[in-house]
Chain A
Amino acid sequence: MPITTTRRRLLAGSVATLALPALVRAQSAAKPRLTVISQWSAGSDGAAITALGKKFEEKGGVWQHSPVPGFTTEMMNKLRAQIMAGDPPACSQLKGPEIAAWSKIAPTVDLDALVAAAGYEKVVAPDLAKLHKPGGKWIALPLQIYSTNMLFLSKRAMDKAKADKIPVTWADFNDLAEKMKAGGVAYPIANGGTRPDDGQKFEAALAGISPLAYRAAIMNLEKKALEGPEVKAAFAQVRKIADWMDPNVGAQHFSTNLKRFIDGDMGMMIMGGWAQGVLRNAGFKFEDFIIAPGPSDNSKPVFLLNADAFIFWQRKEPDLQAGQTLMAQLVMDPAIQTMYSQITGSIPVRTDVDLSGEGWSDGQRRTGAALKEAIASNQAVLSLAHNMAQENGMTAAMIDVITEYVKNKTIKPEQAVARLAEAVEGAR
């Protein structure tokens, strides 16, 4: 019978040999892989997502990131093309109300089990959580938070104005700007000339004057609030800000003028927390500038929320599915959020991360504290200029009015109020 045995062995051996590649393939299929698109290509944003990719690879994953530089809308064009071609990325950047809008055009991954396992829901601000579970189920995960109305003060400009108090209300802010002007600061307000830049000036003004009016007018688009006195007062404040800006910036990005800001040639900047990352990345020191919450007339911090998030698109490939699970776990991990925020200058989405330790700036600590306070006093609202409050079409219609107002000094605040209400009606 030895021959039979040999034959059997031979048979078994050949079957095993034939089956081997399939086995190997099955094993490598389980190796997590992730295709990601985002707008983060360079600077601190690029560095942060590259670091996240490294962590993904450390856990045994294959990281395939294709950045689309520019505004978020540029990234969306690629996303749209991929979805229409039936080949969405396993994961993409997306934020605000766009998550709900886009989830209607392609199937997304239900993340409820993963979110429950990580206990994530308890540590996310409720307003923010709502944006990421449009149909009642988690389909996207916020990663980091910025406030779009942080006030950056140039130390050298403060010295020129002989001032050391951080302005709290808009009246304080205006006083300080006048002092800076008198002290020889050429332009008390540092700025860029892009649309979001102009939008931020307005949202900071309105939310600082009245967070309630902001919620009603901008987030809920109530006609009465849109035509109310607070919106008019906000436009009047924006005019003051516009008069203190350098008109020569044209359509430049805000980062073009950071050196003049640090040198004290420009005094104050109303910008998102990401400016800290940009300033640090450009080699400036924490001693050169101060970061504080934007002006608020009731003295309690107002937080204009801007949160970056990842949405997960349904894929059939097991390796991509494994990659989505791994990515979701990483995004919710406090250590990863800490790493990410320390690079970009944002604050973590998780409210339970301790910001007192090494690696956090005073500005980030103030931002974190401001968020907690703002949530408690219901003064955390969603940013218009950064597409958190409304979908793109509505946002763009409103920013049209604002950017024209900032650049055209013959428009009166009451005219701007009427135009804003008109634009909202037109875009509905």
Chain B
Amino acid sequence: MTNAAAMKPDRPALPEWVRRLPECLMIWVPLLLSAAHLVSFSLWTIWISFTPSTLVPVTGWVGLRNYTAVAASRNWQIAFDNLLLFGSAFVLLSAATGLILAILLDQRIRGENVLRSVFLYPLAVSFVVTGTVWSWLLNPGLGIQKLVHDLGWTSFKFDWLIDRDMAIWTIVIAAIWQSSGFAMALFLAGLRSVDADIIKAAQIDGAGPIRMYRRIILPSLWPITITVVVIQLQFAISTFDLVRALTNGGPGIATQLPALVVYDLMFQRSLLGRGAAAAVLMLLILLAVLLPYAAWRYLQRRRASHA
């Protein structure tokens, strides 16, 4: 902009603040509004979590009682265990699936565009739809198990949806189906940005494809891997609609997740104080993921600017 203005000296230069006005209006106003929105409601939720609110928010102070009640409840404990399992399984498996898909697509194959769209497409579907579709597919009386039985293999068993120990894996399956395409797109971009000269040099040195991936290409992908992991993790922590449509926390309460517990406490049980406490706990879990990531990004940038 400064260059453009300098190149046209015949046009009277606008005062600095007028020139920057659209920029300020476009960026700062929405940013401040959404930040105020986010911060004020977060603070309000934190305040509510210390009050004895039930049906409607009330003032008062109960200290950490809401927190201890939530942490002691079976629902929360199951939800927390599930989050650990679901979070790690989902993040690792979706990143692995995405990486494999990206490597396969990167082999300069024909129809790459079509395939890429196919793998990305699930991302365009809402989680409620994904959940509902998989709830039919995985239902042993209607879906895959019935299909295989009808084909003649009657001893086949695939009833994870109604098996309370395995039900959480059905959510992992549906979530991977939905979002491994996203990981694939990021990895593919990373693969394409590996310096062609290095690859050529490696080829000249006689490195085979496996060795080349292992020693050269994959190590250069690790910043993208971290991005993928962080994005998927924060998705995992806030998962709500998928579980609600797929198992609704069942069988029994076997597939509870923190977001489900928050909703349940606030809007099903009318315990606003406890719901707010559960929401704050969720926020803390998120921060535990996001703060190290932010610190890492900061260090990266500093190192880059020093170099």
- C-alpha gap A397/B70 in the complex (Å): 12
Whether A250 touches B139, Cβ cut-off 8 Å, given contacts A400-B74, A426-B69, is yes
- C-alpha gap A14/B267 in the complex (Å): 57
- C-alpha gap A77/B267 in the complex (Å): 6
Structural contact, A250 and B55, CB atoms closer than 8 A: no
One of B73, B254, B264, B267 near A426 (C-beta < 8 A): B73
Closest residue on chain B to residue A194 by CB atoms: B248
Provide the B205-233 mask, 1 if CB < 8 A to any CB of A, else 0: 00000000000000000000000000000
Judge whether A114 is part of the interface by a CB distance below 8 angstroms. Answer: no
Structural contact, A393 and B271, CB atoms closer than 8 A: yes
Please provide the chain A residues from 374 to 414 with a CB less than 8 Å away from any CB of chain B in the complex. Answer: 391-393, 396-397, 400, 403-408
Interface size on A, residues (CB 8 A): 34
- C-alpha gap A408/B164 in the complex (Å): 7
Q: Give the interface SS of chain A, mostly helix, strand, loop or mixed.
A: helix
Whether A393 touches B253, Cβ cut-off 8 Å, given contacts A250-B161, A400-B74, A408-B164, is no
One of B55, B75, B135 near A400 (C-beta < 8 A): B75
Chain A residues positioned under 8 Å from B254 (CB to CB): 404, 407-408
Whether A393 touches B252, Cβ cut-off 8 Å, given contacts A76-B270, A251-B247, is no
Chain A residues positioned under 8 Å from B250 (CB to CB): 193, 250-251, 403, 407
- C-alpha gap A423/B72 in the complex (Å): 10
Chain A residues positioned under 8 Å from B74 (CB to CB): 400, 419, 423
Chain B residues positioned under 8 Å from A250 (CB to CB): 135, 139, 161-162, 247, 250-251
Judge whether A135 is part of the interface by a CB distance below 8 angstroms. Answer: no
Chain A residues positioned under 8 Å from B63 (CB to CB): none
Please provide the chain A residues from 248 to 262 with a CB less than 8 Å away from any CB of chain B in the complex. Answer: 248-251
- C-alpha gap A83/B270 in the complex (Å): 14
Nearest Cβ on chain B to A72's Cβ, whole angstroms? 10
Judge whether A288 is part of the interface by a CB distance below 8 angstroms. Answer: no
Structural contact, B135 and A392, CB atoms closer than 8 A: no
Provide the A38-52 mask, 1 if CB < 8 A to any CB of B, else 0: 000000000000000
* Among B55, B267, B268, residue most surrounded by chain A Cβ atoms (within 10 Å): B55
- C-alpha gap A397/B269 in the complex (Å): 9
Whether A404 touches B253, Cβ cut-off 8 Å, given contacts A248-B139, A250-B139, A250-B247, is yes
Closest residue on chain B to residue A404 by CB atoms: B252
Structural contact, A407 and B251, CB atoms closer than 8 A: yes
Judge whether B60 is part of the interface by a CB distance below 8 angstroms. Answer: no
Chain B residues positioned under 8 Å from A426 (CB to CB): 69, 72-73
- C-alpha gap A426/B140 in the complex (Å): 36
Whether A392 touches B269, Cβ cut-off 8 Å, given contacts A80-B56, A250-B161, is yes
Chain B residues positioned under 8 Å from A408 (CB to CB): 164, 251-252, 254
Structural contact, B268 and A392, CB atoms closer than 8 A: yes
Whether A248 touches B269, Cβ cut-off 8 Å, given contacts A193-B250, A426-B73, is no
Chain A residues positioned under 8 Å from B253 (CB to CB): 400, 403-404
One of B55, B140, B142 near A102 (C-beta < 8 A): B55
- C-alpha gap A104/B271 in the complex (Å): 15
Please provide the chain B residues from 160 to 213 with a CB less than 8 Å away from any CB of chain A in the complex. Answer: 161-162, 164
Please provide the chain B residues from 248 to 303 with a CB less than 8 Å away from any CB of chain A in the complex. Answer: 248, 250-254, 264, 267-271
Structural contact, A393 and B269, CB atoms closer than 8 A: yes
One of A74, A84, A104, A403 near B252 (C-beta < 8 A): A403
- C-alpha gap A222/B136 in the complex (Å): 43
- C-alpha gap A101/B58 in the complex (Å): 14
- C-alpha gap A331/B270 in the complex (Å): 28
Chain A residues positioned under 8 Å from B247 (CB to CB): 250-251
Structural contact, A101 and B162, CB atoms closer than 8 A: no
- C-alpha gap A408/B253 in the complex (Å): 10
20 contacts between A and B (CB under 8 A): A73-B270, A80-B55, A83-B56, A84-B56, A101-B270, A102-B55, A193-B250, A248-B139, A251-B248, A392-B268, A397-B269, A400-B253, A403-B250, A405-B252, A407-B164, A407-B250, A407-B251, A423-B74, A426-B69, A426-B73
List residues of chain A with CB under 8 Å of any chain B CB: 71, 73-74, 76-77, 80, 83-84, 101-102, 104-105, 193, 246-251, 391-393, 396-397, 400, 403-408, 419, 423, 426
**Nearest 6 CB-CB pairings of A with B:** A248-B141, A404-B252, A407-B252, A407-B251, A393-B269, A251-B248
Known A101-B55, A408-B254, A426-B69; 7 more pairs at CB < 8 Å:
A77-B267, A101-B270, A105-B56, A247-B159, A248-B140, A404-B252, A419-B74
